[in-house]
Structure 1
Amino acid sequence: MGGILEGKRILVAGVTMDTSLGFAVAKVAQEQGAQVVITNFGRALSITRRIAKRLPVEPAVLELDVTNEEHLAGLADSLRAHVDRLDGVVHSIAFAPQEALGGNFLQTSWPDVATALHVSTYSFKALAMAALPLMQHGGSIVGLTFDASVAWPAYDWMGVAKAGLESCARYLARDLGPKGIRVNLVSAGPTKTIAAKGIPGFEQVESIWAPRAPLGWDADDREATGRACVALLSDFFPKTTGEIIHVDGGYHAMGA
């Protein structure tokens, strides 16, 4: 018996290391029967090509900088060399300059804020539109967020960018729904990834999570988030869109 993504073609954008949440999504998606294509760009692309060999099936690796208009314009053609359509897209991409993090909120300049918003917020819409030519039959788009309903220590402008991402997902859900495309986000608890290591004060947030989360929390566990993304990519949520699914041990629902 096949998995819940049997026969589906999935693009996972933003896989660097095997500690990436995108890697976890790609792994579970393959285990559930999907054909997966992954992306990265620049100097990290060679790392991604090596890391791809650690997946159950070595996937095609494409270069995609989501802030590069030429890359976005050529994405559909690049994908057609490997798949005839896309059933799902995963946006596992976020970046903010160091000047936009670590308690520097009031001093951060607009160019640094603009970079954070471009990479972490606007790119969700840009990736969706770049993939749209291969999703004419409908499908599912899933992004990754970190609870943007409150202010976190040191998260600063990345928190603002995530709030924008959550709003962007709702507008995408509105405009892509008539095309049969669902748009949802997974809000994961603090997870040890390369991105997390770049956030000053991450350990402070991580340390308070497990004691307060009813189900507990393991910052080294990425599979729970990967499974949630795969569930949203599957046909098991046919009428769910504009939603944020929390994979955080229940932390978000506790008052103290």
Structure 2
Amino acid sequence: MSGGILEGKKVLVTGVLTEASIAFATARLAQEQGATLVLSNFGRALSLCQRIAKRLPQETAVVELDVTNTEHLATLADRLREQGFDRLDGVVHSIGFAPQEAMGEGFPEVAWEHAATAFQVSAWSYASLTQACRPLLANPSSVVGLTFDASVAWPVYGWMGAAKAALESTSRYVARELGPDGVRSNIVAAGPLRSMAMKSIPGSKQFEEAWEGRAPLGWSVTDTEPAGKAVVALLSDWFPATTGEIVHVDGGFHAVGV
């Protein structure tokens, strides 16, 4: 699209797996708004990512990136250069994982090894991904992550909720340190969506019912476009002085009580 709000921008979108994901909606909207993309995933998900990339409006490069693999992180900038990305104007962190043992009830009983995985993959990776991309980050540029509002405790979310709280804090620290280099860091807090991430949570149906009853604007658990639009807006030049922020895209659920 000519004249879109991401015209001429080069953006890395991590974690594209299915068309039901916020990452896919973001990638599609970003291309429609003029961005040139590179996608990433790893392991068995890499071939799924390559397949799903073909459903985007334009052909898209895909690189392998496992955020728990130090070599993948260390070589990321060089591998992006090989794909023709001499700079990055935006990075979308759509990466999160907690073992089943770390979710559900029994929060205080969870072993450190399970909680540690949740923190490494879901929170620490936001900083390590940004650092891996740092040689390519333009001034100005924008890093955007995804959360499920971590200001309160949820049923069944367990240590993933604690890891999301860490993610939100990590974004603020990245904003503080990289701001002088023109790098903005923000988080989009989306309502519950029927993505792979939500399906992996035991008992997630109760989230859907709560939102249907309480979100002032209403909420569709299958519509990823509102969250994708928010990510694209934060990647654009339309939020030049916004960093360390959490933008709620949840139909207003976070703002109301019972």
For the criterion TM > 0.5, the same-fold answer is yes
Residue 4 of structure 1 and its aligned partner are, at CA, apart by: 0.1
Q: Deviations over 1:178-228 (max 9, x none)?
A: 000000000000011011110001111111102211100001000100000
Q: Deviations over 1:125-178 (max 9, x none)?
A: 000000010014330000000100100010010000000001111111000000
| Distance in 2 between residues matched to 1:60 and 1:136, nearest whole Å | 20
| Distance in 2 between residues matched to 1:137 and 1:163, nearest whole Å | 28
Match for residue 47 of structure 1? 48
Instruction: Summarize the alignment of residues 1-256 of structure 1 with structure 2, pairs less than 5 Å apart.
Output: 1-82=2-83, 83-256=85-258
Amino acid at match of 2:90: G
Q: TM-score, normalised by structure 2?
A: 0.98
Residue 26 of structure 1 and its aligned partner are, at CA, apart by: 0.5
Residue 54 of structure 1 and its aligned partner are, at CA, apart by: 0.5
| Distance in 1 between residues matched to 2:45 and 2:250, nearest whole Å | 28
| Distance in 2 between residues matched to 1:14 and 1:227, nearest whole Å | 17
1:137 is paired with a residue of what secondary structure?
strand
2:175 is paired with a residue of what secondary structure?
helix
| Distance in 1 between residues matched to 2:63 and 2:108, nearest whole Å | 38
| Distance in 2 between residues matched to 1:106 and 1:58, nearest whole Å | 46
Q: Deviations over 1:69-107 (max 9, x none)?
A: 100001001111221210000000000000001113122
| Distance in 1 between residues matched to 2:133 and 2:164, nearest whole Å | 21
The answer as to whether partners of 2:89 and 2:138 remain within 8 angstroms in 1 is: no
Amino acid at match of 2:224: R
Q: Deviations over 1:218-254 (max 9, x none)?
A: 0100010000000000000000000000000000000
Percent identity (aligned)? 62
Q: Report the RMSD for the aligned CA atoms in angstroms.
A: 0.8
Q: How many residue pairs were aligned?
A: 256
2:219 is paired with a residue of what secondary structure?
coil
1:138 is paired with a residue of what secondary structure?
strand
| Distance in 1 between residues matched to 2:5 and 2:47, nearest whole Å | 31
Q: Deviations over 1:16-41 (max 9, x none)?
A: 11111111110110000000110000
5+ long unaligned stretches in structure 2: none
Amino acid at match of 1:159: G
| Distance in 2 between residues matched to 1:136 and 1:148, nearest whole Å | 30
Amino acid at match of 2:70: E
Residue 58 of structure 1 and its aligned partner are, at CA, apart by: 2.0
Segments ≥4 residues shifted beyond 4 Å = none
5+ long unaligned stretches in structure 1: none
| Distance in 2 between residues matched to 1:249 and 1:80, nearest whole Å | 39
| Distance in 1 between residues matched to 2:140 and 2:253, nearest whole Å | 33
Amino acid at match of 1:152: W
